[in-house]
Chains A and B, each alone.
Chain A
Amino acid sequence: MATMTVAKAINEGLRATLNNNAKSLLMGEDIGALGGVYRVTDGLLKDFGPDRVVDSPLAESGIVGTAIGLALRGYRPICEIQFDGFVFPAFNQITTQLAKMHFRSSGKLTVPVVIRIPYGGGIGSIEHHSESPEALFAHTAGLRIITPSNAHDAYWMIQQAVECADPVIFFEPKRRYWLKGEVDTENPGPASDPFKAHVLREGSDATIVAYGPLVPVALAAAAAAAEDGHSIEVIDLRSISPIDFDTVEASVRKTGRLIVAHEAPTFGGIGGEIAARISERAFLHLEAPVIRVGGFHMPYPVAKVEEDYLPDIDKILEALDRSLAY
């Protein structure tokens, strides 16, 4: 067991991958000497050299496109997109090429590319640095999308993403990069399956589903609700595509109430998908409509008002109140 931040855990996970898998390599903007703008790749260039830790030209489509070519040659590229809002130049390569290559080759080709994207707000940043574009990728068949919320998961999930034969988008909750936690580097324990949701807190009155940066917020909301006598179950979704509906459904069958929280806008978001699926699977077990807590239907606002935009403890508690009163 070691205590480390989420950023350091990803760094150690990447180090383990580079050690264990000779075909793996990192590529991205400023990931070499600088160690990435968030220092997630700090020290890796020094230890693995420029053929394995590749400082790329400043071109996101080129990064993902060349990664696809490397994967076709048998490599395991791990790309870093510097910020969520800068992934869009690569959107064509990700959705029309990466996601479809296995399908269009009738399974003859695999493209095990991992795309790391720091995402989400809450760090007081400027435009295009605080977005949560996961739903845009979740809508694309062929991709897998996972997001850790703590250091232990981060350490294991990045390695599991690289081992997966399918392309994986690895969303890193940037405002939790500095969150410390215990990491067992010997044994993944419950983190052995990156596509499985985790019940982090058991409860009987309602369920909160969250992922990535909002997991600590959901846990804090559940703790606050407990003071008011409500027993709240909290699920860390971990995988956004596929979604572990079995775990969510089992929880809802027990609690009868469901809140889904994410930073991304609620409209057309992951919360809507979960609400629809759970309505189909457990309609008669629901005591209240599924309530979504998320961003507004607006571009991510300026930092000075992002507190009003972001889901927080109070917004989740308000949703819980509505659900429990229904």
Chain B
Amino acid sequence: MGSTQLPTPRINGTGQQFLEGAESGDPATGMVQLLGPDGTLGTDPVFSDYAKRLEPEQLRGFYADMAKIRRFDQEATALQRQGELALWVPLTGQEAAQIGSGRASQPQDYIFPTYREHGVALTRNVDLAELLKLFRGISNGGWDPNENNFHLYTLVLAAQMPHSVGYAMGIQRDQKLAEAAGSNDPKAAVLAYFGDGASSEGDVHESMVFAASYDAPVVFFCQNNHWAISVPTEVQTKIPLFNRAKGYGFPGIRVDGNDVIAVHAVTEWALEHAREGRGPVLIEAHTYRVGAHTTADDPTKYRESAEEAEWRGKDPLERLEKYLRAEGLADDAFFEQVKQDGNDLAAYVRRTAVALQAPDIHDAFAGVYAEPHPLVAEEQAWFTEYEAGFEREEEAGH
């Protein structure tokens, strides 16, 4: 056997020069922030205009929504601990990202949530007691998506993302026809939520490719809450997620996800961009899941409490409260009322949730197909007869 000549590796440079502009890993770089953790309002060349348009009533509304949904979150967690829910997915820490973006949407827009968008659900007037049906084992959905243009929660990570693009493609076609018919109906867009963990799913990639190809009116809203259960964002991505938009050819914006004013401004801008036919936008809201992934999770096993403490210092509610008080836009009575409203909501949700009755298995048979199906009918008939057999035995005194 002859000896094998192995080529000497010859690589010019480290490759870093080809990564220029994509590697800014510093969270603060390029992040839109208007309301700082200390409650002071900064400026931004694009988004300050949006913030200026906000009426005091809207700002107070943002606070009230955030406080309400945090209180709701506590109540749902308690319901799970008491055995009334199978599982709960807490959102505490992400209130600004959800309320700010949800409040930027308009009624004609359509929302695709993940399974943690309780705050967005609130802004879309979804009955929060109905939201608990999924977690109580009453329904795999729970509400009528067409009532508030708020889709069902999707538990298969990122599976809702291509749906959002398809829905946007439908809007695009509808609007073309409407414009041809001289309609003045307000234009619509789609707002699709996902997380830093789901960003690794192929469906996110395919959605962004499709959205870019067809200029679909969709805003991809990524809540980067830093943890996909126990795995940090660094495992999902080497560059800030908003930078990925560049690769698809549409704008990507990183926003302080704990700053409700900036989130609202950026989302308003992005939705307008989409509605006007300029194509998709990716928003990365930089936030933090202060609690566990779900009630089945234990964050002490994978992260430091110092990190949690640091993020508590960036709390979205506290900074808005500071601002409202400093500007004289809200007083003690307002905050007292908000607290009371939160308690009322919690009491309503508890009362309604524990009264939710299990459905009948026959409802399940009825929901498999939209049109009659012989196999489902046969199995349902068998089950009915099977159950009746027990009843007959009971009547006969066996």
- Residues of chain A whose beta carbon lies under 8 Å from any beta carbon of chain B: 25, 51, 56-57, 59, 61-62, 64-75, 77, 89, 92-93, 96-97, 100, 102-110, 112, 141-142, 144, 164-166, 195, 241-246
Contact = CB atoms under 8 A, between A and B. Distances in A.
A70 B169 contact: yes
A68 B367 contact: no
B299 interface: no
Contacts of A66: 162-163, 165-166, 169, 207, 210
B266 to A, nearest CB: 24
28 contacts: A51-B176, A56-B210, A61-B206, A62-B162, A62-B209, A66-B163, A69-B167, A69-B168, A71-B166, A73-B167, A73-B174, A74-B170, A89-B202, A93-B159, A97-B156, A97-B159, A102-B370, A103-B364, A103-B368, A104-B139, A104-B152, A108-B145, A109-B146, A141-B376, A144-B369, A166-B370, A242-B374, A243-B375
A106 B138 CA distance: 11
Contact of A72 (B144, B159, B167, B367): B167
A103 B374 contact: no
Contacts of B162: 61-62, 64-66, 68-69, 93
Contacts of B46: none
Give me the 4 closest cross-chain CB pairs, A-B, nearest first: A69-B166, A65-B162, A73-B170, A66-B166
B368 A102 contact: yes
Contacts of B364: 103
A242 B213 contact: no
A40 B374 CA distance: 31
B367 A107 contact: yes
A104 B163 contact: no
B124 to A, nearest CB: 16
Contact of A105 (B141, B169, B171, B366): B141
B17 to A, nearest CB: 30
Contacts of A74: 170
Contacts of B164: 69
B156 to A, nearest CB: 5
B203 interface: yes
A75 B369 CA distance: 18
A232 B173 CA distance: 53
A61 B202 contact: yes
A65 B209 CA distance: 13
Contact of B141 (A108, A141, A164, A245): A108
A159 to B, nearest CB: 15
A62 B140 contact: no
B156 A96 contact: yes
A70 B173 CA distance: 10
Nearest to A112: B370
Contacts of B238: none
B363 interface: yes
A96 B162 CA distance: 13
A166 B370 CA distance: 6
Given A59-B206, A65-B162, A106-B363, A141 B368 contact: yes
B110 to A, nearest CB: 8
What's the interface size class on B, roughly?
Answer: 35 or more
A164 B369 CA distance: 10
Given A102-B367, A105-B145, A69 B156 contact: no
Interface of B: 110, 139-141, 144-146, 151-152, 154, 156, 159, 161-171, 173-174, 176, 202-203, 206-207, 209-210, 213, 363-364, 366-371, 373-376
B145 A68 contact: no
Nearest to B142: A106
Given A96-B156, A141-B368, A65 B170 contact: no
Given A92-B159, A109-B145, A242-B374, A100 B140 contact: yes
A315 to B, nearest CB: 29
B152 A65 contact: no
A104 B210 contact: no
Contacts of B166: 65-73, 77
B213 A142 contact: no
Contacts of A144: 369, 373
Contacts of A51: 173, 176
A66 B212 CA distance: 13
Given A66-B169, A74-B170, 19 more contacts: A59-B206, A62-B165, A62-B209, A65-B166, A65-B207, A66-B210, A68-B162, A69-B163, A70-B167, A73-B166, A73-B167, A96-B159, A97-B156, A105-B141, A144-B369, A165-B370, A165-B371, A242-B373, A242-B375
Interface centre among A73, A75, A246 (most CB of B within 10 A): A73
Contacts of A106: 139, 141, 363, 367
Contacts of A112: 370
B39 to A, nearest CB: 40
A109 B244 CA distance: 33
B28 to A, nearest CB: 34
B159 A69 contact: no
Given A59-B206, A62-B209, A70-B166, A104 B140 contact: yes
A57 B369 contact: no
B171 A73 contact: yes
B209 A59 contact: yes
B357 to A, nearest CB: 14
B163 A97 contact: yes
Nearest to B164: A69
Contacts of A164: 371
B140 A103 contact: yes
A163 to B, nearest CB: 10
Contacts of B168: 69
Interface centre among B146, B176, B203 (most CB of A within 10 A): B203
B212 to A, nearest CB: 9
B156 A70 contact: no
Nearest to B159: A97
B269 to A, nearest CB: 23
Contacts of B370: 102, 107, 110, 112, 165-166
Contacts of A166: 369-371
Given A74-B170, A104-B152, A242-B373, A65 B141 contact: no
A289 to B, nearest CB: 23
